[in-house]
Amino acid sequence: MAEIINGKELAQKIRLGLKGEVTELKNNGIIPKLAVIMVGDDKASKVYVRNKSKACEEIGVEFEEFLLDDTTTMEQLLNLIDELNNRNDIHGILLQSPIPKHLDINLAFNKIDYRKDVDGFHPINVGKLSIGEDCFISCTPFGVVKMLEEYNIDIQGKNVVIIGRSNIVGKPLIQCMLKKNGTVTVCHSKTQNIKEITKNADILIAALGKAKFVTADMVKDGAVIIDVGINRNDDGKLVGDVDFENVEKKASYITPVPGGVGPMTIAMLMTNVVKAAKNLEK
C-alpha cells in the first residue's frame, strides 16, 4: 500500500512559514499585494479566485480583485494590466483563465510585467526556467517539485513520465524534472502505446484531465504517482486522472484528489507573491 502524499497538510505548513515572512516584510514597510483579474462569469474560476483570496488573507497578503464583464475589449484588458504593472503597491498580477474567446490570453499574459508574473506564464519566466535562471515557476509544477522534495523522493536518474504537455503544467514540469536530473519522457494525446511508456516510470505524473485514465496495469510496482488532474465524475465528485483505489495498491507514494496537488498550487502561488514582494526589497 502506498504512502499518501498529504498535499493539504504540506500546503498548510508552507502557508504558516509564509505568514512569518509576510510579517517580516511588513516590519520593513512592505505589504505584499496580489491583484487578480477575472473576465466574464466562469463559475469554477470564481471558486478558484475565492480560494486564492482566502489564502492571501490567511498569510496577511493583501488582495484586490478586478472583475471585468465579458464584453471587455482587448484594449481595455491590456490597459488594466498596464495600470497594475505601474502600481507600486501591487507585487503580483494574476489573470484568471479562462477568459472570453474574443480575447487573446497569450497577449494578455505577455503584457504582465514579468517581475509581477506570479503565475510564471510570461515568456521571460518560461525562458528563464528552461535555462535554469531564477524566475517565477508556474504554480502547479512548482507544487509538484515541492511535494517530492518534502517527501525526500529522489528524482535524480529516475525515469519520470509526464502525461500532458500543456503550457501551464506539462511543459514547465519537463524543465523542473530535468533540473532535478530526472530522465524525462512526455506523453500526449498522439502518443502510441502509452502503457508501455508509463510502465517504465519510477515517477509518473498524470496531467491530462481524464478521470481515472491511469489504471493499475499502467503502473510499475513501487512507482511514485502524482495526480494533477481535477475532474468531476458522474456524481459530481472530484476525481483525479488516476484510478486511486487500484493504483494505490501498487505505488510507493501517491497523491490523492482532492487534497494533493490542488492545495499545493495555491501555496506555491502565495510563495511566488511573497518572492515578488521580496524582490522589490532588494
User: How many other β-carbons are positioned within 10 Å of the β-carbon of residue 58?
Assistant: 15
Site size toward ligand NAP (CB under 6 A) is: 25
| Cα 266 to Cα 260: distance, rounded to the nearest angstrom | 11
- Which helix H or strand E contains 139, and what residues bound it? helix 139-150
User: Min. distance of Cβ 212 from ligand NAP in angstroms?
Assistant: 12
Q: Does 239 bind ligand NAP (CB under 6 A)?
A: no
C-alpha cell at 92: 503580483
Q: Which of 52, 111, 116, 180 is catalytic?
A: 52
- Percentages helix, strand, coil for the chain (3-state, rounded to 5) are 45, 15, 40
**CB-based burial of residue 134 (10 Å sphere; 0-12 exposed, 13-18 middle, 19+ buried)?**
exposed
* Cα dihedral 215, 150, 120, 25 sign: positive
In this chain, which stretch among 60-68, 110-118, 228-236, 248-256 interacts with ligand NAP, using CB under 6 A?
228-236
For residue 90 the three cell numbers come to 501591487
96 classed as catalytic: yes
Query: Of 90 and 205, which CB lies nearer to ligand NAP in the complex structure?
Result: 205
> Do the beta carbons of residue 45 and residue 37 sit within 8 Å?
no
Q: Is the peptide bond before 98 cis (omega within 30 degrees of 0)?
A: yes
User: Which of 33, 165, 250, 275 touches ligand NAP (CB under 6 A)?
Assistant: 165
**Site membership for ligand NAP, residue 229 (CB under 6 A):** yes
How does 242-252 read in b/e, with b if 16+ C-beta sit within 10 Å? Answer: bbbeebbebbb
What is the nearest approach in angstroms of ligand NAP to the Cβ of residue 266?
A: 8
Q: How far is the CB of 148 from ligand NAP (least distance, A)?
A: 15
CB-based contact 2:260 (threshold 8 Å): no
Interface segment toward ligand NAP; rule CB under 6 A; list 118-126, 129-137, 161-169, 267-275: 161-169
The grid coordinates listed for 45 are 474560476
Shorter beta-carbon distance to ligand NAP: residue 35 or 197 = 197
Q: Which of residues 117-156 bind ligand NAP (CB under 6 A)?
A: 140
On whether the CB atoms of residues 163 and 198 are closer than 8 A, the answer is yes
Please report whether residue 164 would count as binding ligand NAP according to CB under 6 A.
yes
Q: Is 105 in the site for ligand NAP (CB under 6 A)?
A: no
- Between CA 205 and CA 113 the distance in angstroms is 31
Closer CB to ligand NAP, 100 or 209, in the complex: 209
Q: Give me the catalytic one of 111, 116, 117, 119.
A: 119
Q: Which of 28, 190, 193, 245 binds ligand NAP (CB under 6 A)?
A: 190
Instruction: For residue 225, state whether it binds ligand NAP (rule: CB under 6 A).
Output: no
**Least distance from ligand NAP to the Cβ atom of residue 211, Å:** 9
Q: Report d(CA 88, CA 73) in Å as an integer.
A: 25
Binding of ligand NAP by 210 (CB under 6 A): yes
Q: Given the residues 33, 96, 117, 128, select the one marked as catalytic.
A: 96
- Please give the positions annotated as active site: 52, 96, 119
Interface with ligand NAP by CB under 6 A: which residues?
A: 140, 163-166, 168-170, 187-191, 194, 207-210, 228-231, 261-262, 265
